[in-house]
Structure 1
């Protein structure tokens, strides 16, 4: 055999072959160093072998997917795809390229010279040449297109033609699909279950078993009111646990004030609520807490969601406005605000942009703010759409006096008129110093105030005149470059005919009322879908659409589109926009009541197979395979084959600690409280002595919903445990796992304080017997009795801790009794319990 390492002929041929093979494989002709070429050539000629430096494989025909489509996407899609199709020409699918536009077919297969596409690309007329923007196509790109056309302009016949924006699923009317037929009919408790089960059965999967009664009780309590069930509530339910008994618990929880407090916080995330303005001075927003209280009361009263929309967008423009509806419009003023902007004109447009963007994301699930400077790059939203919606809010003004924000009285028109008349009379009286004594003036003022009481102050914007200002489309979004005039409309892609905006009224332009009525209309394709999805997300951890603020083309499609439409239609037409009815529908489903523990599911699946007599072996392979299939193929649980593991939000964690320790202050509503912040966290502030005045402990022990949210100084425990973004709409909180969380929960002052109170509660309610204390502690914190191993572990831990406390005291020559050591050890046990995974991850 000839050794290629030794034979120069084989070496030269082998080298050339490798190089050419690599060129064919990659489709690239690589340049070689000159010395390498000379060496190969001399070796080949010496061995008598033919050699050519220009040797190359024949050019292959361009591939549509590899070569043509990426080129068109890069240079042509901006004008000729599903978002825009100038001259009715789309180039985002092979079939559409052949079809052409209003000027006829774009190409003639086999004849590039006769193809309109090539003629326009090669045109020397700037008005004719394509692409219209950017540099002309490079010669090699033109050659690639010509070769593809000359070779027949082939493309995959199975290529999917992208939908036009008007065909996008979220822009279609909401309809009620029929519930699917399923095999396992006994599992379903309501229509939700049939939609979920149908998808599982298509794959041959089964839903998880129902969770244990204790777990379900804790789940619904934390979901609906954000607090664990008390031992008494646990005992009452567990005396006769059943699906129907849990239904009754759900009804009871929905009627508790804590429901509004729990669910108001979810809404406040979406509408970017905070108690301060942000920026350098980060001043307090006066009376903004009244908007927060409005949301709490609205949820508790089960205010229909369509009415909820009307009041927040146009509460002052309703036929019968009131203090409540005016306070609701605080939604528009919640954003961050710079009280000393470098460019006041630009800042004015920034404020209105915040309102437009938040309104669109909150109620429509659209990122319309991206069209402020140019047509949206990824959605069918034009700059005209943006500024036409901008015109709706342009009449609004911020009440202020220099850098100081002002508030406005809230009431009915009659109440506001009476108040204005009273204040005018008071102002006149104060000028009567020549005819009346000071005492007489004050007496008359007191009488006037007694006859006409003050109205609540509201943190709201207002329209100073019913005559709206002219709104211009701003070129490139610049406040100094006004373009054409625009009038109020809604995004064109969402309607076949623009809604009628009412004429200006006596007090306002009525533009916001026109927008609000369209958003709250049963015919709006987005509103009900958006809210149903938000509620679903809070119960299951993820929405049916996992981009809750983006239902546009770039958002994720729904995992269960028929279920989403069924719920949205039912929510509007059967539930009459009632959120409590929607909660009840979801929480009474078998889907919601599935277990979440994967290992428990696996064991139950195997046990079921064994009991059915399918196999007498210890492990049933077929059962394990069926269980492991959804685990492997759907680890994110998109098909809802089990309940999801979730960590509680920081509010529910903190509130649960207060509830367990017995310190939760049930006081509702009113001005925000300020939890204590350690001095070290204030050191970086220039006004560290005055920036944060903590509330007394009893006031600070109210629910976390009432904590003052200062944009520039978030309470550390809230921040480290993933409080929402307070600047922009936050549709879903991040869930991070970082070391400071463990430090905050184990070493933080608040947690140690609650551990101290928890220990005192255990002594008071269960006496000094350690086993009874441990049992009660488990029931308070984890809603179950401890296992024997857990009890023994806690007993050993307490003994060890007590000995260490006594030893430390002896080393320091401190007096420390056995009783004190036992009490200190009990506090440490309580601290451990509050840090258990099971406490913050309920399942």
Structure 2
């Protein structure tokens, strides 16, 4: 009796959806539209709905006046310093040169500086030494390999479909290479967006522009599902949610089944945005779909009742989200819907596109964006700590032909980027540091540089780099290094076919084959996300497994052995070898106490390889100040 009561209560809350579908009506287009829901009911967008910082037009603010006029190097610094001075706080002193080059190289290229780079920069007396270094790193091919991964996280990129069979997408890597190339060439961000939404309709773009539309289809898919209409519904909803979150910074996915609970996004708004893509997908059973292509033989778009693909409701036409379309701009019926969407998305009047990408760039440089919810600029997202600075950078991006490298350069050239990340040892600077730490423990005001742990790819690439093992080759299909023997025993035959070339195993991590249902173990250990949905900000865990991997894994054993071999071959005496290790791993010379400790460790019977393993396990290697 109790079970029956519970079942009836659940049915009252969650009524059963029709299953199986009515005989003879297995697909959505065969289902009759319910006359009772043929009209859309939704609230009008009010001035109150639009009264939100993210929906205001981007207007370039005046640069603030500050008291400490000798500190700012860029307009960025004046916004930061004005906020600090408001709270009677001081910025930290500048970072020393060895710390600064280490920070900059890891940040822009995902690799540590070489010993020669450190020595050249530290000893360069020219006033433009730092700007020269910045420009050389921005121009490096390694820049795109580093920053391309952040976009691939958002694009939920993988080389397989996911779900049960996780079939390989033979051509997926071409989109990954397109992203790296576009970032290295500093493709204007508006073009970068346009090609990924409607590149197949850009006459001057050719095959590369069409390839860019793989962004929309890089998420998981189930080609072998029985109903292609169900598959199509799931894909279109996933595309809509991704475009809304990644490019507009709004959680459109919450409105698939009902009106958004907090933001002024109705269920009809969701399906109107989805309608832009309705004619862009043609599916075949058991075949992955890789790029968008316009077709004209699909039925009328409908709102799907409660998000159920079998229950079409009122018909809908493509339309821009009402809450950020206060001018009431409508797509032209004579143009391609996706081209119209791309035009609207990159129009200067759009209040979100520039803000969202500038905030993402800031986040990757400082660990946290100016707003800490990079894919949620809605009313439940965090307000920006420096709203005027966000608008200043957004306006700068559009003024400078949407050049993202221009924004990177502005940020890393600023004084706030160059402040120290470690507590001064004595004097007024230490007192000022402690006062700022007490007043702003989360460092939202950026009085000091935030300490950040290297991500999974940077740790792996860094270990290869310091041991002179890294293969810098670019492009091509994903490579599959050897997996741990104990893991291979648990896999199905052919699930991870090791790449024959051992040299390929040591390529940069962005080129490692990305299987959706089997993350490369080293990456999984250090918090690389799954590719099931866009990842705007990675988790950062601290686990015992991470330390065990860095001490005992075959990969670390091998790179430590190579590092020891390189150091011993290049330096004849023990003191020089210890110095070389410190320079390679930490970009600085050891002090006397550190030399003594390393010497005593080796004298106790440990080998140089053991010292290498110990040093790559230190926080000084894994974290950047």
**Common fold: TM-score over 0.5:** yes
Alpha-carbon spacing, 1:689–1:331, altered in 2? closer, same or farther (3 Å): closer
Alpha-carbon spacing, 1:314–1:304, altered in 2? closer, same or farther (3 Å): same
Shift of 1:248: 1.2
Maintained 8 Å contact 1:682/1:688: no
Aligned to 2:245: 361
Aligned to 1:737: 542
Aligned to 2:577: 773
Aligned with 2:370 (options 530, 541, 544): 544
Maintained 8 Å contact 2:223/2:231: no
Maintained 8 Å contact 2:228/2:283: no
Shift of 1:653: 0.8
Aligned with 2:501 (options 676, 696, 702): 696
Secondary structure at the residue paired with 2:515?
Answer: coil
CA RMSD of aligned residues (A): 1.9
Shift of 1:321: 3.7
Shift of 1:725: 2.9
Shift of 1:715: 1.1
Q: Map 1:803-822 onto structure 2 (within 5 A).
A: none
Is 1:462 the counterpart of 2:288? The answer is no
Aligned with 1:594 (options 419, 425, 434): 419
What CA distance in whole angstroms lies between the structure 1 residues aligned with 2:45 and 2:178? 51
Aligned to 1:472: 302
What CA distance in whole angstroms lies between the structure 2 residues aligned with 1:307 and 1:482? 35
Aligned to 1:403: 286
Aligned with 1:485 (options 315, 325, 335): 315
What CA distance in whole angstroms lies between the structure 2 residues aligned with 1:826 and 1:211? 31
Maintained 8 Å contact 1:313/1:512: yes
Cα displacement string for residues 35-70 of structure 1 (whole angstroms, at most 9, x for unaligned residues): xxxxxxxxxxxxxxxxxxxxxxxxxxxxxxxxxxxx
Shift of 1:245: 1.2
Maintained 8 Å contact 2:320/2:330: no
Shift of 1:695: 4.5
What CA distance in whole angstroms lies between the structure 1 residues aligned with 2:304 and 2:510? 39
Shift of 1:787: 1.3
Is 1:261 the counterpart of 2:145? The answer is yes
Aligned with 1:187 (options 42, 67, 71): 71
Cα displacement string for residues 731-761 of structure 1 (whole angstroms, at most 9, x for unaligned residues): 0000000111111111111111101111111
Is 1:564 the counterpart of 2:390? The answer is yes
What CA distance in whole angstroms lies between the structure 2 residues aligned with 1:689 and 1:324? 31
What CA distance in whole angstroms lies between the structure 1 residues aligned with 2:358 and 2:179? 18
Is 1:797 the counterpart of 2:601? The answer is yes
Aligned with 2:156 (options 272, 287, 297): 272
Aligned with 2:609 (options 805, 820, 827): 827
Q: Map 1:421-570 onto structure 2 (within 5 A).
A: 459-463=290-294, 465-466=295-296, 469-503=299-333, 510-570=336-396
Shift of 1:384: 1.0
Maintained 8 Å contact 1:676/1:695: no
Aligned to 1:839: 621
Secondary structure at the residue paired with 1:185?
Answer: coil
TM-score calculated relative to the size of structure 2? 0.90
Aligned with 1:787 (options 584, 591, 613): 591
Alpha-carbon spacing, 1:695–1:502, altered in 2? closer, same or farther (3 Å): farther
Maintained 8 Å contact 2:210/2:292: no
Instruction: Give ranges in structure 1 of 5+ residues lacking alignment.
Output: 1-83, 89-162, 407-458, 609-622, 803-824
Secondary structure at the residue paired with 2:604?
Answer: helix
Shift of 1:86: 8.6
Cα displacement string for residues 803-838 of structure 1 (whole angstroms, at most 9, x for unaligned residues): xxxxxxxxxxxxxxxxxxxxxx11111111221211
Alpha-carbon spacing, 1:777–1:627, altered in 2? closer, same or farther (3 Å): closer
What CA distance in whole angstroms lies between the structure 2 residues aligned with 1:85 and 1:460? 36
Is 1:213 the counterpart of 2:97? The answer is yes
Q: Map 1:320-359 onto structure 2 (within 5 A).
A: 320-341=204-225, 343-359=227-243
Cα displacement string for residues 233-268 of structure 1 (whole angstroms, at most 9, x for unaligned residues): 111111125763111100111011001111101111
Aligned with 2:551 (options 727, 733, 746): 746
What CA distance in whole angstroms lies between the structure 1 residues aligned with 2:551 and 2:125? 35
Cα displacement string for residues 667-707 of structure 1 (whole angstroms, at most 9, x for unaligned residues): 0011111121112123333x146544244321110000100
Which structure exhibits the higher relative contact order, with contacts defined as CA atoms closer than 8 Å and separated by 6 or more residues?
Answer: 2
Shift of 1:343: 4.7
Aligned residues: 584
Find the structure with the greater CA-based Rg. 1
Maintained 8 Å contact 2:225/2:231: yes
Maintained 8 Å contact 1:677/1:694: no
Aligned with 2:406 (options 571, 581, 595): 581
